Amino acid sequence: MNAPLLKLSAVETRIGAYHILHGVDLDVPRGQLTMLLGRNGAGKTTTLRTIMGLWRPSAGSVQFDGREIGGLATPEIARLGIAYVPENMGIFADLSVRDNMVLAARGARRAEDIDAQRLDWIFSLFPAMKTFWLHPAGKLSGGQKQMLAVSRAIVEPRKLILIDEPSKGLAPAIVANMIAAFRELKQTDTTILLVEQNFNFARELGDTVAVMDDGRIVHRGAMAELAEDQALQTRLLGLSLAAHQ
């Protein structure tokens, strides 16, 4: 039970001529929210995409729940119980919010098939989803699109959720809304790997933290430790928490 749900060992990823991941070792503990931090270009998004199978690792192993998923196709990986919320959110703009959710709910043929309790819970986290249920998703605001993207990831229970920069470009009030929603999500014992650049967001939610730089993990440990240690923050992330509100 203490084995990490997701384990990356010496993972390298190349995209064309570019060598992005230079040997990533990452453990994502079960039931916790792990933050993946780092500056732009560190390789965070690439890590998520590699886990999801959108890019093949050229070396190393990716193990999910004890099983090697390194060479599998993306749909297979998703079916093992991993949900992915990409940086660009990936919502289908021409489809309604409802249709987006129906698609995300693999077990549902129509909207009525979605678990009503689950849907109620999602509506309580993100009321906008209910308000705009029949609207084309493309007409939503940036924050609402992000909420939709997260809603899609949780419309059915998943073992692991990968989220890429959910707070990017969002107004502080919306970010606060997001943090509250994620707190509730954490209580459902879902494992989450969340990439962020907003350290405040990270500090509020993270249990474990890993910091990336130049395609490698340069620090890992408990979030609480990092939050206390200003010198470490400055060294790793070039900032201090007090300054970054």
Per DSSP, which regions of the chain are E strands?
6-15, 18-28, 33-37, 57-64, 67-68, 82-85, 160-164, 191-195, 208-213, 216-222
Binding segment for another protein among 6-14, 123-131, 200-208, 228-236 (CB under 8 A)? Answer: 123-131
The reply to whether 55 sits near another protein by the rule CB under 8 A is no
Of 2, 18, 109, 173, the one binding another protein (CB under 8 A) is 109
Size of the site for another protein (CB under 8 A): 39
> What is the C-alpha separation between 123 and 116, in angstroms, rounded?
10
Least distance in Å: CB of 157 to another protein? Answer: 13
The reply to whether 107 sits near another protein by the rule CB under 8 A is no
Contacts (CB under 8 A) with another protein, residues 180-209: none
The reply to whether 119 sits near another protein by the rule CB under 8 A is yes
Least distance in Å: CB of 210 to another protein? Answer: 22
Of 56, 130, 183, 235, the one binding another protein (CB under 8 A) is 130
The reply to whether 235 sits near another protein by the rule CB under 8 A is no
CB closer to another protein, 67 vs 109:
109
**Contact 95/135 with Cβ under 8 angstroms?**
no
Q: How many CB atoms lie within 10 A of CB 66?
A: 9
The reply to whether 111 sits near another protein by the rule CB under 8 A is yes
Q: Please state, in angstroms and as integers, the Cα–Cα distance from residue 26 to each residue in 37, 73, 190, 236, following that order.
A: 12, 21, 18, 17
The reply to whether 75 sits near another protein by the rule CB under 8 A is yes
The reply to whether 65 sits near another protein by the rule CB under 8 A is no
Q: How many CB atoms lie within 10 A of CB 157?
A: 12
Least distance in Å: CB of 158 to another protein? Answer: 10
CB closer to another protein, 95 vs 227:
95
Q: Which long-range contacts (CB under 8 A, 24 or more apart) does 24-27 make?
A: 24/60, 24/212, 24/215, 24/216, 24/217, 25/217, 26/210, 26/217, 26/220, 27/220
Interaction pattern, residues 144-163, with another protein; x per rule: CB under 8 A? --------x-----------
The H or E element spanning position 130 is helix 127-131
Give 95's contacts (C-beta < 8 A, 6+ positions apart): 103, 136, 137
**Contact 200/2 with Cβ under 8 angstroms?**
no
Least distance in Å: CB of 238 to another protein? Answer: 32
Of 61, 90, 159, 230, the one binding another protein (CB under 8 A) is 90
Q: Which residues bind another protein (CB under 8 A)?
A: 52, 54, 73-75, 78-79, 84, 86, 90-96, 99, 102-104, 106, 108-112, 116, 119-120, 123, 130-136, 139, 152
